[in-house]
Structure 1
């Protein structure tokens, strides 16, 4: 039942809309993914199924740099706030695309990505919050200038409030913070290897930058969940993570913050962290004002598969047994949707604790059960369903693929092993950071998903004796870099982890050094390396290292963990297509009132594939409108599409200047509705771009 406060708000809004002609209104996209409920939803109706085919480009804006853009821009009172590929913030006139201000220097690029900005206003002053590397900047929304009264001259260090041992560890934020009253609660990205910083949830005052509260995701003595880790885990320099990197949702009326967390580090071996590992892989409901835990649910116990919760949950209302229930729905990399009563954490569909295989890796103690919701059915294919007929029939090397499939462990929740574990959905999901869209009142959720198989293989960690045989640069490379870029520097297919053999032809030495120290894309920074060590590894990568192993002693120590993965390897055919049959990307509409599907369709067309409707890998989410439309880019083929959200029927598509691995925004200025999306390409080996493109009728 709606509270009296809610009813008064609804009446006030109806009066406002009734007294103001919508065609003259300016209607905002004021928050990341549309609002604090993260529903990617707009009440705009000017563009609908009868006229969407008439959309044309209204304006474009080209940034001064190029590369991947994941940002979901904000539009407030006719001004668009966005982020460039090198994390330069900017403001544009939302009607024309004319640049109003920029912040940051694109020539001293920060080699990461940003999914957008946060906005706060007290009704007079307005502020933009923007993360660059380990710092959160506070900018004047009107001028783009840093507000020097915030923190240290306009910025705070995101290490603030973490233990001293984490002071020099890699930590950045590439997802906007969540605003609640006078607080900004920050998501952070940390390393996924041994030695990661802890992923504590922290809130800061929006005016001063002072730390307001901290929630320990690796509990301290006396805190709930402390027994789920070894007693010294919160002090252990090699146990970290359990961070929120995907962003959060907030129920403003209830003052409840919903925080999805990732795995504890190291991702693939947990012999040094036996137990369930709360609050890793949890949906946390916290008091937004104090950070106190209200309830939690763990979606993966003792994660050894990198099953981070990848997106903010959706705050929706569903109807069950004649009752209206305010719910929270969490999508997952596994292809599950977990749905709970928002206030109590009670599951709205039964969840079974299913017995799963034990690990055979020495020292690993996987948890004996894992939670699986009975409804909805998974929106992505599961590894245990793949048999011989599920292998790509057009693959030129199908016999070899069948042989490799037969050697993998495909049992449900098969733990990482030495022979290879099929990961489907893969490390990137299933669902990913683009998140799901929802009409908050009808209980239907819209999810784009990947069906990309990967293979996870464990190997013994090289001993100090073995590593001592290498030159200093190669030793550091093998400890920190080889699991992704390969011992041979050849990287992985499709550009997820680039080859380094020709890196010297693409980047100068200072840029390589900056990336090693600060990270880029999925790569965490390694600020702990000394200048000498950094130069040694650069020399090795560039083929310039002349020093023999005995001549230099490095301080970079190998992790003490006895086992590690061989890296992130997609299961592909000789042509570079997924080894399994299509579709490789889907778009689904799921009715969370009943748990049943409205529809599911392939999303995108794989470049170079012989048939349409194959689906492609996709990153970035959809938006939905009250007029019944769903807009989405996200696909490898570089198209921007509009669907009928009721049926999944394609209504309109256009090729973008570069693929849009981002979530679009929609807004209205002076009576005209616009749809805008960032087109940076680059990911998945696609061409680079640098444009924001806005469409209107």
Structure 2
């Protein structure tokens, strides 16, 4: 059933609600276990030969700390690492998966979201499960559950959540509808018209699996309810409405009845769990539409909010909204990390949350009290008709932001004199005033750090022994703007401007490679291929299942031929579908644009990506280094520039920080976690745009990463897993 939250009486714009918490005793589930009875080995805190130390949860443990106590691979011998085994799925498309390792089994995805089980010591295939549903969205990980001798492996494939037998890969028929549940159901209206996919795995609390999902970033989009399902039956146990219903806390921060039409405010990045206290921490993203909020005036709780929920019931315990009335797509991009710090002479169980704008927040995880002060700072007001922005936005006083916060003409590229002049000429046409500057009509605004962070979905690693957090970030500048929606000549154009313009731009030119151009797409793809992509989504593109056949046909004509195509006759069905798609938006986003020079390199001065270590006991940086580089620039002497990077780090008790993530140089790295010194690196066949995992089998420690590429237009994509170990 759906849980209703009693309406609060405190001010809704609060830095954190200090609600009293009930401590719920619990036992740790989804911990270290074996799968095959014939290969079963008991877990141990200190691994010895014939024993296994696992990586049983996305993020390492329920706390999402990305930490391992293993020490066999350490600072003294990491330079000797070599490939122990590799697995090639022989598929294209890229990978973002952090695999699970339980006993002697490694569980992961292929690029088309087949689920595979490999022997964790050899990389040999044990089983493969093909659901018959082609995965076109990222699959970042799976979820493992165990109680007694009973085990289940949960896998999201598009809008379905499957429960598999970990030993055989076969669906468990008693779960949901013959082994799966459809996450489109129980949201709003006709479930067949909803679009939601599970890209980041759910988390386990006792006999519940708690999930969010990825929603479209344009209307129509379903609400981003956070839901808990019974692990055995698949029955819905509770749902938290991130767009509040009448009588629920936060309802007044939206227009009346917004819950019937507004969408998203979803947890797409994943969650962390305090198992002992029974609290699940779920950060949410923005509500739609991302860049114009004239139809959702107000602060829009619980969009862009870090939520602490009672894991057993879904009741809100406390919350912190990181962006009020977001019009910059400033989602919380990753699960929080749980750790313990020294604060004011006491040990405090804390929570660290990163952001796209480069802020890092630290809270008492029980009360929600900020451990470093958070200030509500005045920000510019929007001058776009119909828009009403928040007068203030929060910012922590410590730590200092992970990246530069405002781009000036003194920070433009000096790669060549021509590149500098090109950047300067473009810069002088744009608005650059720092964080939370509302987008303008007719002029591009610089968003820095860009729409892809700051911090990103890979998440952070924390060392529970020291209270140090490790975060990789992007330091790229992007631009955005608005155009007035003056109506269009055809139903296809209306639908395009509502659903597609946010990524592919008003002129269908996109921002390659992340957002490809659609100019000439009819010469590259057939109508059926384009239709399939629209219906099912692909990569960063969500599925648009609400379009009827006539509306889709009209959209195809516009996508292929642009506004020069004849408008044609409009049937009632096309008109209705187009009107539903547009949803009365007065202004539209011009599309994502990176601020690049004429040769495609960042138009700003380095670093373009960094790796950071921060002592959360004090809020002070221990080290910061450029992270990644362009091989062709490095060959010409321009080294250590940093670069875009996706996928997070892993920290170990052996004093090491393992991370892949860099797009262009395709390196897997090992750093000294105390100093940031590079100790070892290996050039992968494809970029490792995923978070690694480390584990031990039969006394040997392994580090494994998914190498799939897919973001560098000069390189191919695929689906490989590569494991390293000492000789």
Structure 1 length-normalised TM: 0.93
> What residue is the counterpart of 1:681 in the other structure?
709
- Relative distance call for 1:8 and 1:480 in structure 2 (3 A) is closer
| Unaligned stretches of 5+ residues in structure 1 | 10-15
Aligned to 1:390, which of 395, 411, 422?
411
What is the distance in 1 between the residues matched to 2:197 and 2:46?
43
Cα offset, 1:87, TM superposition:
1.1
Task: Tell me, yes or no, if structure 1 residue 308 matches structure 2 residue 331.
Answer: yes
Match of 1:326 in 2: 349
1:65-84 per-residue CA deviation (whole Å, 9 max, x = no partner) reads 12210000000001000001
1:497 aligned partner: 515
Matches for 1:563-582 after TM superposition, within 5 Å: 563-582=587-606
Q: 2 CA distance for matches of 1:206 and 1:547?
A: 51
Quote the Cα distance in structure 1 between the aligned partners of 2:439 and 2:191.
Answer: 28
Q: CA deviation at 1:164?
A: 1.7
Q: Does 1:535 align with 2:553?
A: yes
> Is 2:630 the partner of 1:606?
yes
Residue 338 of structure 1: aligned partner: 361
Counterpart in 2 of 1:651? 679
Q: CA offsets, 1:550-574, max 9 Å, x none?
A: 3343232233010111010001000
Match of 1:446 among 449, 454, 470: 470
Cα distance in 1 between the residues matched to 2:361 and 2:28: 31
Q: Are the counterparts in 2 of residues 166 and 198 from structure 1 also a CA contact under 8 Å? A: no
Greater shift in the superposed pair: 109-118 or 324-333: 109-118
How far, CA to CA, are the matches of 2:413 and 2:28 in structure 1?
57
Match of 2:129 in 1: 103
Where does residue 351 of structure 1 map in the other structure?
374
What is the CA distance between 1:22 and its match in structure 2? 2.3
2:501 paired residue number: 482
**How far apart, CA to CA, are the structure 2 residues paired with 1:507 and 1:561?**
30
Hey, what does 1:89 align to over in structure 2?
A: 115
Structure 1 residues 661, 505: closer, same or farther in 2, change over 3 A?
Answer: farther
CA shift for structure 1 position 408: 2.5
Aligned pair 1:589/2:617, yes or no? no
Query: Over the residues paired in the alignment, what is the CA RMSD in angstroms?
Result: 2.3
Structure 1 residues 291, 105: CA separation in 2 closer, same or farther (over 3 Å shift)?
Answer: closer
Paired with 1:474 and 1:460, the residues of 2 have a C-alpha distance of: 14
Question: Does structure 2 conserve the Cα–Cα contact (< 8 Å) formed by 1:158 and 1:171?
Answer: yes
Q: What does 1:52-91 correspond to in 2, within 5 Å?
A: 52-91=78-117
1:506-525 alignment runs, 5 A limit: 507-525=525-543
Partner-residue secondary structure (3-state), 1:640: strand
Distance in 2 between residues matched to 1:195 and 1:474, nearest whole Å: 16
How many positions carry a matched residue from both structures?
A: 678
Q: In structure 1, what is the equivalent of residue 280 of structure 2?
A: 257
Q: Answer yes or no: is the 8 Å Cα contact 1:448–1:588 preserved in 2.
A: yes
Q: Which residue of 1 aligns with 2:3?
A: none
2:568 maps to 550
668-677 or 678-687, larger mean C-alpha shift: 678-687
- Tell me, yes or no, if structure 1 residue 177 matches structure 2 residue 177: no
- The 2-side partners of 1:456 and 1:548 are apart by 30
Aligned to 1:30: 56
Q: Give 1:195 shift.
A: 2.1
Q: Residue 403 in 1 paired to residue 428 in 2?
A: no
Do residues 635 (structure 1) and 653 (structure 2) align? no
1:670/1:398 Cα in 2 relative to 1: closer, same or farther (>3 Å)? same
- CA-CA distance at 1:596 after TM superposition: 0.1
Kindly report which structure 2 residues correspond to 1:22-421, keeping only aligned pairs within 5 A, or say none. 22-104=48-130, 109-164=134-189, 167-235=192-260, 237=261, 239-383=262-406, 386-395=407-416, 396-412=418-434, 413-418=436-441, 419-421=443-445
Q: Structure 1 residues 656 and 205 mapped into 2: Cα distance closer, same or farther (>3 Å)?
A: same
CA distance, structure 1, for counterparts of residue 44 and residue 157 of structure 2: 43
Contact 1:358-1:368 within 8 A present in 2 as well? yes
Structure 1 residues 473 and 415 mapped into 2: Cα distance closer, same or farther (>3 Å)? closer
The alpha carbon displacement at 1:104 in A equals 1.6
Mapped partners of 1:8, 1:535: distance in 2: 52
Partner Cα distance (1:8, 1:578) in 2 = 46
Q: Structure 1: how far apart are the matches of 2:711 and 2:701?
A: 29
Cα distance change of structure 1 residues 661 and 8 upon mapping to structure 2, 3 Å threshold: closer
Change (3 A) 1:19 1:219: closer
How far off is 1:233 after superposition? 1.1
Contact 1:473 1:545 in 2 (8 A): no
Q: What's the secondary structure of 2:168's corresponding residue?
A: coil
Q: How far is the alpha carbon of 1:187 from its aligned partner?
A: 1.7
User: Cα deviation per residue 1:471-503 (whole Å; 9 max; x = unaligned)?
Assistant: x5455434432342234443213x111123454
- The residue number in structure 2 matching 1:12 is none
Return the offset for 1:388: 1.6
Instruction: Give the structure 1 partner of residue 451 of structure 2.
Output: 427
Give how far 1:657 is off. 0.8
- Tell me: CA distance 1:8–1:607, structure 2 relative to 1, closer, same or farther (3 Å): closer
Secondary structure at the counterpart of residue 138 of structure 1: strand
| Structure 2: distance between partners of 1:303 and 1:68 | 30
- Separation in structure 1 between the aligned mates of residue 498 and residue 265 of structure 2, nearest angstrom: 23
Separation of aligned partners in 1, 2:689 and 2:510 = 22
Shift of 1:461: 1.4
The question of 1:695 aligning with 2:724 is answered: yes
- Between the aligned partners of 2:239 and 2:110, the Cα distance in structure 1 is 31
**Residue of structure 1 equivalent to 2:10:** none
| More off after superposition, 483-492 vs 566-575 | 483-492
Q: Would the alpha carbon gap of residues 635 and 20 (structure 1) be closer, same or farther in structure 2, given more than 3 Å must change?
A: closer
Residues 176 and 234 of structure 2 are in contact (CA less than 8 Å); yes or no, is this contact kept in structure 1?
yes
Q: Structure 2 CA distance, aligned partners of 1:531 and 1:103?
A: 32
* Aligned-partner Cα distance in 2 for 1:597–1:19: 31
Q: How big is each residue's C-alpha offset from its partner over 1:436-460, in whole Å with a ceiling of 9 and x where there is no partner? A: 0011231100000000100011110
Larger displacement relative to structure 2 (513-522 or 89-98): 513-522
Give the deviation of 1:547 after TM superposition: 7.8
Shift of 1:98: 0.6
1:549 deviates by 1.8
Deviation at 1:264, TM superposition (A): 1.2
SS in 1 for 2:193: coil
1:526 deviation in Å?
1.4
Distance 1:165 1:591 in 2: 49
Alpha-carbon distance between aligned partners in 2 of 1:519 and 1:689, rounded to the nearest angstrom? 18
**Deviation string, structure 1 residues 404-439 (Cα, Å, up to 9, x no partner):** 323333223211112221101111100000000011
Q: 1:126 & 1:646 partners in 2: Cα distance?
A: 38
8 Å CA contact 1:49–1:629 kept in 2: the answer is: yes
